[in-house]
Amino acid sequence: MKIVVICSGGMDSVTLLYHLASIDHEVVALSVNYGQKHLRELEFAKMHADKLGVDFQLADLTGITHLLQGSALTDSSIAVPDGHYEDETMKATVVPNRNMIMLSVAIGYAISIKADAVAYGAHAGDHAVYPDCRPQFADAMEEVAALADWREIKLLRPFVLMTKTRIALEAAKLGVDLATTWSCYRGGKTHCGTCGTCVERKEAIELAGLIDPTVYSEQEL
Amino acid sequence: MKIVVICSGGMDSVTLLYHLASIDHEVVALSVNYGQKHLRELEFAKMHADKLGVDFQLADLTGITHLLQGSALTDSSIAVPDGHYEDETMKATVVPNRNMIMLSVAIGYAISIKADAVAYGAHAGDHAVYPDCRPQFADAMEEVAALADWREIKLLRPFVLMTKTRIALEAAKLGVDLATTWSCYRGGKTHCGTCGTCVERKEAIELAGLIDPTVYSEQEL
């Protein structure tokens, strides 16, 4: 199967790239620049695609960032909140319709290169604060993906029943170096350790019983 | 109702903009640059938004054009075919997943500005050569639009039961100057008159019994 893998450079999507490549699929990595402060993640996505010897493509959506305002992830005037990733305050990190936009671009690319599917790193711990992480949203997207071309494009969520802790274990099994994956929503040189996604990352790696190679810099902030 | 209207600058979407503005909706025009050869259409979209005194926004998707290859509309190495707009040869003008991508950006913008709906110019004459013009595709998109945010975004296709001829009549009724709408897929200074969309435009205006103000330049090609 030829699969376009949406790869942000975070631990979930990088592990997904390794996972699909390890079971002999032909994978292509697609990263998206939607104007996020943590652009640094994209370097890691490319690094892993290169390491696996798979094609890497960048979708540059900075030409629409001005239309998707109001998110702490893209707007320099809105601070990324600290806290637990399930807190209501995390709603500040929602980018309007981000997932539909990324999926639609990935589906277009899949049609263009005659791939069979698009895969992304949705998992069991996806959060109730993000409307476009709901299973019913993903199910509806599967339907449009099947109709977008004369040839059906499948939407795959191989990790949808796995927790982030289970993904961390999968990463260890596949030899993914977690030190070269990026989670932090802030644009710093190291992970802040206190934003929602850093808290989630730390928790998952700890619960998996792994040594966390991430450099956190709470003290610097 | 606050409505984001996807306006290409063609006769259908410009008429739609006038139509919705005329019935007292708060409309915002959104045009999309996806690397089309006929970029000229966007000038007309802006001109009409300005004339109506409504906000105009441009979504610049040229950062993903390289991912959506194989279309005569965007690829300079592929010629735009002449012929009737229902011919099989028109498949060369399909841009992979264009409609889903445009709709997802428009939905994101609608969420961002707290609009209630996205409207677009789908009509009864939409063609069997375009997979993403099928009614079942549009129905599935309605479902995802309703789930993309906590607040439902409606997808409106006010012209879906109207032929293009009927739209030409509506344009005349609303005082839309068809001379300042753009259909031609070729990147010329005037309409070529022989590509699928020019043929369709000429036919609709003629069947509506209107005088066609379009300058066609078949002889120059």
Pairing assessment for the beta strands B117-119 and B2-6 based on DSSP bridges = parallel
Residues 42-81 of B with CB under 8 A from A: 57, 59-64, 66-70
How confident is residue B221, by pLDDT bands cut at 50, 70 and 90?
very low
- Is the CB of B137 less than 8 angstroms away from the CB of A148? yes
The 3-state DSSP class for residue B55 equals strand
The pLDDT of residue B122: 92
The pLDDT of residue B218: 66
- Please check whether residue A29 is in contact with residue A58, taking contact to mean a CB–CB distance below 8 angstroms: no
A148 touches chain B (CB under 8 A): yes
Among A60, A64, A111, the residue with its CB nearest the CB of B96 is A111
Token pair for B107: 């939905």
Residues 6+ away with beta carbon under 8 Å from A37: A73, A74, A76, A80, A185, A186, A187
The pTM is what?
0.95
Distances (CA, A) of A45 to A41, A56, B114, B145: 7, 8, 33, 29
Dihedral over Cα of B137, A69, A43, A211: its sign: negative
CA B158 from centroid of its chain's CA atoms: 13
- Is the CB of A149 less than 8 angstroms away from the CB of B141? no
- What is the C-alpha to C-alpha distance for residues B78 and A14, in angstroms, rounded to an integer? 36
Give the containing element (helix H, strand E) for A6: strand A2-6
How confident is residue A84, by pLDDT bands cut at 50, 70 and 90?
confident
Locate the chain B residue with the closest alpha carbon to A137.
B147
- Is the CB of B148 less than 8 angstroms away from the CB of A132? yes
The structure tokens 């007292």 sit at B24
Locate the chain A residue with the closest alpha carbon to B146.
A137
> Of A135-144, B81-90, B118-127, where does mean pLDDT reach its minimum?
B81-90
β-sheet bridge partners, residue B203: none
Nearest Cα neighbor of B218 from B187, B190, B178 is B190
Task: Show residues of chain A in contact with B88, CB under 8 Å.
Answer: none
- Please check whether residue A197 is in contact with residue A184, taking contact to mean a CB–CB distance below 8 angstroms: yes
- What is the C-alpha to C-alpha distance for residues B25 and B75, in angstroms, rounded to an integer? 37
B211 to chain A, minimum CA–CA distance in Å? 37
CATH code: domain of residue B91:
3.40.50.620
ipTM of the complex: 0.94
- What is the C-alpha to C-alpha distance for residues B210 and B214, in angstroms, rounded to an integer? 11
DSSP A121-171: ---TT--TT-GGGSHHHHHHHHHHHHHSSSSPPEEE-TTTTS-HHHHHHHH
Nearest Cα neighbor of B133 from B85, B174, B178 is B85
Selected residue with higher pLDDT from B80 and A218: B80
pLDDT, tens digit, 9 for 90 and up, residues B37-91: 889 999 999 999 999 999 999 999 999 999 999 898 998 889 898 888 777 888 8
Q: Give backbone dihedrals phi and psi of A57, rounded to 5 degrees, phi first.
A: -130, 145
Locate the chain A residue with the closest alpha carbon to B94.
A149
How confident is residue A219, by pLDDT bands cut at 50, 70 and 90?
very low
- Is the CB of B61 less than 8 angstroms away from the CB of A57? no
- Is the CB of A108 less than 8 angstroms away from the CB of B131? no
What type of residue is A97?
N
Task: Show residues of chain B in contact with A42, CB under 8 Å.
Answer: none
- Is the CB of B62 less than 8 angstroms away from the CB of A61? no
Q: Give backbone dihedrals phi and psi of A85, rounded to 5 degrees, phi first.
A: -70, -10
- How many domains is chain B built from? 1
- Is the CB of B63 less than 8 angstroms away from the CB of A61? yes
Domain that holds residue B100: 2-220
Residue B132 pLDDT > 90 = no
- Is the CB of A67 less than 8 angstroms away from the CB of B112? yes
- Please check whether residue B116 is in contact with residue B1, taking contact to mean a CB–CB distance below 8 angstroms: yes
Beta-carbon-side half-sphere exposure of residue A190 (alpha carbons within 13 Å): 12
Among A59, A95, A137, the residue with its CB nearest the CB of B63 is A59
Residue B219 pLDDT > 50 = no
Among B64, B107, B140, the residue with its CB nearest the CB of A61 is B64
Token pair for B171: 């344009």
How confident is residue B2, by pLDDT bands cut at 50, 70 and 90?
very high
B133 to chain A, minimum CA–CA distance in Å? 9
